[in-house]
Amino acid sequence: MNVEVFDFQKSLKVSKQRVALLVEAALKFLKIKTDLVSIHFVSKSKIKEIHNLLFQDPSLTDCITQPYDPPGLKKEHHFLGEVFICALVAKEWAKKIGADPYDELTLYIIHTLLHLSGLEDTTPEKAKKMRVAEKKVFEHLKSVQVSLK
């Protein structure tokens, strides 16, 4: 599996190697096989631009998921998708709730991977399932000592 990591922001220092290891461990736990997934860390202005481009909504958001090949699809080169994450939003939210910014960023990564796996959070019931899945993956990553720190 190839995990592409692009860091186009300066708000939070991100180790591309740690991100790749975290994504690989999370996808393995979720039993998702793919040849490629792309993770983009972007600024507030860039995530608003992408949000507007993809959803005709220029408001600020924490992360955006762009799925390509659904999990389980058999093809020569499987590209699960790409995600865009605003590290500054994670950092600011973590400060507001008294959390670690890298734990918050990890949750954003997990959240986007769960979207790529097919989970949605468009209703209260689906959002509850998403939170449960996020917690399971987060706890697993902690148990195998994979983190962004």
Angle separating helix axes 44-55 and 87-97, nearest 10 degrees: 110
Domain total for the chain? 1
Give pLDDT tens digits for 73-90.
Answer: 999 999 999 999 999 999
Distance of CA 93 to the CA centre of its chain: 16
> Which domain covers residue 135, as residue numbers?
2-143
What pLDDT shows up at residue 8?
Answer: 97
Q: Is 60 a member of any domain? A: yes
Q: What is the CATH number of the domain that holds 137?
A: 3.40.390.30
Contact partners, residue 149, CB within 8 Å, separation at least 6? 18, 100, 102
What pLDDT shows up at residue 26?
Answer: 98
Q: Is 149 a member of any domain? A: no
Residue 73 structure tokens: 């699809």
Contact partners, residue 39, CB within 8 Å, separation at least 6? 3, 4, 5, 6, 19, 23, 82, 83, 85, 109, 112
Residue 109: CA atoms inside 13 Å, Cβ hemisphere, count?
32
What pLDDT shows up at residue 131?
Answer: 97
Residue matched to tokens 């608003």: 48
Q: Is 74 a member of any domain? A: yes
Q: Is 78 a member of any domain? A: yes
Instruction: Give the global pTM.
Output: 0.96
Q: Is 148 a member of any domain? A: no
Give pLDDT tens digits for 107-123.
Answer: 999 999 999 999 999 99
